[in-house]
Amino acid sequence: MASLSWLGDLSRFALSPSNLAPLLLFFAVFYLASFYQKRRSVYRNIPPGPQPWPVVGNFGGLLVPPFIRRRFGQTPDPNIGVMEALTSQAQVYGNIYSLFVGSQLLVVLNGYDAVRDALSNHPEVFSDRPDVPTISILTKRKGIVFAPYGPVWRKQRKFCHSTLRNFGLGRLSLEPCIQQGVASVKAELMRLSEERGGSGVDPAKLIGNAVSNVICSLILGQRFHHEDPEFRTILDLMARGLEICINSPAVLINIFPLLYYLPFGVFKELRQVERDITVFLKKIIGNHSQTLDPNNPRDLTDMYLMEMLAQQAAGEEDSSFTEDYLFYIIGDLFIAGTDTTTNSVLWVLLYMVLYPDIQGKSASMNQRGGRQTRGRRVCMGEQLAKMELFLTVTGLLQAFRFRLPDGEAAPSLQGRFGLTLAPCPFAVCVTARGEDGFS
């Protein structure tokens, strides 16, 4: 046993406080050397970009609490948003540059030409989805929007696209449904404007309600009244969930995924939002299962449940058609189908109030415009979005003249970073055309 006495000496050496600091310093230097060596070898040919910090990447500033930044005079400039920061990097490194979120590489494409070239000429490279921790935790990498590109995604998308077309997607048969939503928006705008006088009305929720109801008619087989508390709650929850994921300290989950489980702050709130949305959507799927009539399918949910039963009857045990997958598809269509079109309409209205001279010309505009998306993951609701955008904007401009409330400063065109770039909140005053001599 004497030959093993050196183990005791080693134990005393390792536990000695005087040796702890040099040991930690050694491991820190070793880690940093390994980090930079790996970065040089693995990411040798990546586009240029700012130098990342070890462990946290290019977003280390998010780890510094606001009170510490203020203490050292580093108050963030409110006029510089995420989009401005990203585009400013393009001025330094070019329209294709690299960033790191933690140890994960992001390649940023800036400008129309770079994005179009990537999606049109290199679809095999840009058709997949990255494994972003926040998205992976919330979606389990299922659904349509955030699911990885592959056979399962292609099968699910093909089924959803063909089913939605059967229920009117991209066809004129959906126009009455859209017009019904536009009529509701016009009535509420007029009522609220009369109630509030010159203080103005925020059109965001009214537009969002109308757009969401079109999606509801396709996937849930029903419309909701704009004041329905359950409908209003689910839209608010989805909007809040997006806001937390993108514009709060919860973005740090993408660097340290275990932060998702913290029992306080926005991390706790995000989990509660997820639970509430889950309860709402699971309830809808359960109601559809109980009232399913295979001879009279009402919507996408019914058709999906019927496909599930058909594949189970055929003995396909490994089928990807499950209630769990349906849950994530409904969530995807709700969020993606509402956020994009709503923000497009709001941007148009914002420009109308900032440049009122063109409102008369725009009221008689023709339906035209470029493609919203390109590549293999082209939006399957593109035709619906174009129809909603055209009918909503022309319907509002033909009915009203829009202006800013008296004495209110012009809203910023900076926008708010999110799933899509949303305009900053703004209010409008409306006057029915003809009441002020305006035609």
- CATH code of the domain in which 309 resides: 1.10.630.10
CA distance 379 to 106: 22
Burial of 354 from C-beta contacts in 10 A (0-12 / 13-18 / 19+) = middle
Helix (H, G, I), strand (E, B) or coil at 432: strand
DSSP state of 59: T
Same domain, 129 and 156: no
User: What pLDDT score was predicted for residue 223?
Assistant: 86
User: What pLDDT score was predicted for residue 68?
Assistant: 55
Same domain, 58 and 184: no
Same domain, 97 and 194: no
Asked whether the beta carbons of 387 and 176 are under 8 A apart, the reply is no
pLDDT per position as a tens digit, 277-295: 999 999 999 999 999 999 9
Q: Is residue 384 part of a domain?
A: yes
Same domain, 102 and 188: no
Same domain, 122 and 163: no
Q: Which residues, given as ranges, of the chain have pLDDT below 50?
A: 1, 6-7, 10, 15, 367, 369-370, 436-438
pLDDT per position as a tens digit, 27-64: 777 776 776 666 666 677 889 999 888 777 887 665 55
CA distance 177 to 223: 9
DSSP state of 320: S
Single-letter amino acid, residue 365: M
Same domain, 299 and 425: yes
Same domain, 196 and 232: yes
Give the phi and the psi of residue 373 in degrees, each rounded to 5. -140, 165
For residue 416, the cross-strand partners are 422
Same domain, 372 and 418: yes
User: What pLDDT score was predicted for residue 27?
Assistant: 72
Same domain, 95 and 155: no
Same domain, 83 and 224: no
Q: Is residue 221 part of a domain?
A: yes
User: What pLDDT score was predicted for residue 437?
Assistant: 42
Radius of gyration over alpha carbons of the chain, in Å? 26
Q: Is residue 319 part of a domain?
A: yes
Q: Which two tokens stand for residue 261?
A: 């489980």
Instruction: Identify the domain containing residue 289 by its residue range.
Output: 151-432
User: What pLDDT score was predicted for residue 226?
Assistant: 81
* Closest-CA residue to 174 (of 184, 183, 164): 164
3-state SS track over the chain: CHHHHHHHHHHHHHHCHHHHHHHHHHHHHHHHHHHHHHHHHHCCCCCCCCCCECCCECCHHHHCCHHHHHHCCCCCCCCCCHHHHHHHHHHHHCCEEEEEECCEEEEEECCHHHHHHHHHHCHHHHCCCCCCHHHHHHHCCCCCCCCCCCHHHHHHHHHHHHHHHHCCCCCHHHHHHHHHHHHHHHHHHHHHHHHHHHHCECCHHHHHHHHHHHHHHHHCCCCCCCCCHHHHHHHHHHHHHHHHHHCCHHHHHHCCHHHHHCCCHHHHHHHHHHHHHHHHHHHHHHHHHHCCCCCCCCCHHHHHHHHHHHHHHCCCCCCCCCHHHHHHHHHHHHHHHHHHHHHHHHHHHHHHHHCHHHHHHHCCCCCCCCCCCCCCCCCCCHHHHHHHHHHHHHHHHHHEEEECCCCCCCCCCCCECCCCCECCCCCEEEEECCCCCCC
> ∠280-173-310 over CA atoms, to 5°?
55
User: What pLDDT score was predicted for residue 6?
Assistant: 47
Q: Which two tokens stand for residue 355?
A: 């440049």
pTM of the predicted model as reported, rounded to 2 decimal places: 0.83
Number of domains within the chain: 2
The backbone region for 121, taken as left when phi is positive above 0, alpha when psi lies in -120 to 50, beta otherwise, is alpha
Same domain, 95 and 187: no
User: What pLDDT score was predicted for residue 438?
Assistant: 46
User: What pLDDT score was predicted for residue 77?
Assistant: 54
**96, 114, 139: which is the final residue of a domain?**
139
